[in-house]
């Protein structure tokens, strides 16, 4: 069965373990998929492995506004519309107690896992004009604490919050259910 026929899907972190495995399943159901990542060699290797004309890639850093616009526009140009957004790119960062945790690593984990997800929601969802599905990859670390993973745990808790807000704002605005107000 091709339950995703005529559906176009963006996967950030599409060259990684979860992104590529998800792409495989989406493609098997008839979707067209845009893989997003920073490293072209990894993207090309994923494309080769997936081995279908229905998959494409865009080199982009999800922490950057211009790159977020770039992968959004590249998908629209290639496929015409966006139906599913898998906001998935993430990094674990160092494993160290808070008192020894490098500030640069903290900033990088928050930039990819939190700001990257937020930028994706900000720029991709408004382009899903006919509605669609949005998934964000949190983690069990979005539900509980783990020693040594302060930045990662904080970022994965935070994206659960973003998802809740996006679900309220975009369900209301995109579907036009009721007018959006700040106290929803």
Ligand X SMILES: NC(=O)c1ccc[n+]([C@@H]2O[C@H](COP(=O)([O-])OP(=O)(O)OC[C@H]3O[C@@H](n4cnc5c(N)ncnc54)[C@H](OP(=O)(O)O)[C@@H]3O)[C@@H](O)[C@H]2O)c1
Residues recognised as catalytic? 152
Minimum CB–partner distance for residue 142 and ligand X (Å)? 8
Burial of 144 (0-12, 13-18, 19+ CB in 10 A): exposed
Minimum CB–partner distance for residue 59 and ligand X (Å)? 8
Which of these ranges, 83-91, 98-106, 121-129, 163-171, lies near ligand X under the rule CB under 6 A? 83-91
- How far apart CA 181 and CA 19 sit, in angstroms, is 34
Applying CB under 6 A, among 58, 74, 139, 151 the residue interacting with ligand X is: 139
CA angle 1/57/88 to nearest 5° reads: 75
Give strand pairing partners of 12. Answer: 36
Whether residue 3 contacts residue 30, with contact meaning beta carbons closer than 8 Å, is answered with: yes
**Is residue 120 near ligand X by the rule CB under 6 A?**
no
3-state secondary structure 75-107: HHHHHCCCCEEEECCCCCCCCECHHHCCHHHHH
Residue nearest ligand X by beta-carbon distance:
16
Minimum CB–partner distance for residue 65 and ligand X (Å)? 12
Minimum CB–partner distance for residue 37 and ligand X (Å)? 3
**Is residue 149 near ligand X by the rule CB under 6 A?**
no
CA-based end-to-end distance of the chain: 39
Query: Interaction with ligand X in 159-178: which residues (CB under 6 A)?
Result: none
Query: Interaction with ligand X in 87-106: which residues (CB under 6 A)?
Result: 88-91
**Is residue 15 near ligand X by the rule CB under 6 A?**
yes
- How far apart CA 27 and CA 49 sit, in angstroms, is 12
Binding site for ligand X (CB under 6 A): 12-19, 37-39, 42, 61-63, 88-91, 112, 137, 139
């Amino acid at each position: 069965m091709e339950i995703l026929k005529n559906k176009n899907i963006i996967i950030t972190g599409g060259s990684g373990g979860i992104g590529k495995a998800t792409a495989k399943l989406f493609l098997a159901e008839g979707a067209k998929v845009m893989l997003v990542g920073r490293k072209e060699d990894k993207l090309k290797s994923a494309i080769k492995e997936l081995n279908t004309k229905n998959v494409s890639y865009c080199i982009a850093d999800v922490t950057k506004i211009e790159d977020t616009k770039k992968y959004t526009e590249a998908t629209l140009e290639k496929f015409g519309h966006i139906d599913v957004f898998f906001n998935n790119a993430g990094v674990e960062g160092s494993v160290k107690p808070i008192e020894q945790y490098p500030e640069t690593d903290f900033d990088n984990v928050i930039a990819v896992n939190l700001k990257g997800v937020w930028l994706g929601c900000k720029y991709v969802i408004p382009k899903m004009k006919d509605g669609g599905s949005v998934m964000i990859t949190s983690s069990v670390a979005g539900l509980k604490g783990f020693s040594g993973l302060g930045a990662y745990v904080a970022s994965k808790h935070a994206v659960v919050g973003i998802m809740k807000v996006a679900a309220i704002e975009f369900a209301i605005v995109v579907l036009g259910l009721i007018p959006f107000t700040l106290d929803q």
